[in-house]
Amino acid sequence: MAASDPDSLVRLLGGRTGAVDASAPGLVFVGVLLLSDDLLVPVAAAVVTALLLGLVRVLRGRAPRAAALGLLGTLVSALVVARTGRAEDFFLLQLLANGVSALAWTLSVWLRRPLLGLVVGGVLRQRTAWRRDPDLLRAYSLASWWWVGSYVLRFVVFVSLWSAGQVVALGLARAALSWPLVTTVVGLSWWTVRQVLPDGHPGLRHPVTPQTPGRRLTDPQPSLPD
């Protein structure tokens, strides 16, 4: 695969803004918690932050669904805290989400429907064409393991801090493991895809299927790591 190939996972899988927006309510929650003895005050501040970020997203023409999901996640976290009265439970939803994500990404690879391919294929409006390209299927499958690792890392860190009741550390970890980790994983995924795709492959936007003229035949069942 040519180094000049314009198909970049960094562009296709988003950037820093979404990850920063996702971690901002948690940081506000922790910051206000240090200044207030009333647990409802940081909860309200986090919800207001998520609402304002959602409005900014919509006004800038970004996907309203992403804004709605971000706000919904913060509202659920706020309700959990209001119910349990434990500040660390503000991060419980994110803890569980990372555990579920790790399992889902792992399962998708073993089912030969890697979520990385589904995400990129969806962005590129390819539907399932990429699955008929053995080279792309193998590349997406191998690159997906970086995402599994990132979710496992977050889950382990969050469980450890949540169990110890380390609320401030949870907020900082949420920020540290957001866009810096996402950017790293995106870069590693892109590197993996470039390494796996053979020379002459047209790239992510152009799956090579059995019906593609001049297709180079490869093993239709890509091997996966043990």
The pair of structure tokens assigned to 120 is 């990129």
Cβ-contact 39, 206 below 8 angstroms: no
On the question of pLDDT at 218 being above 80, the answer is: no
Cβ-contact 142, 224 below 8 angstroms: yes
On the question of pLDDT at 18 being above 70, the answer is: no
- Phi then psi dihedrals of residue 54, to 5 deg: -65, -40
What pLDDT is attached to residue 219?
Answer: 42
Best CA proximity match to 185, nearest among 115, 128, 100, 132: 115
The residue whose two tokens read 């976290």 is 77
Prediction pTM value: 0.81
On the question of pLDDT at 213 being above 70, the answer is: no
DSSP-assigned states of every residue in 53-96: HHHHHHHTT--HHHHHHHHHHHHHHHHHHHHH--GGGGGHHHHH
The residue whose two tokens read 């469980």 is 159
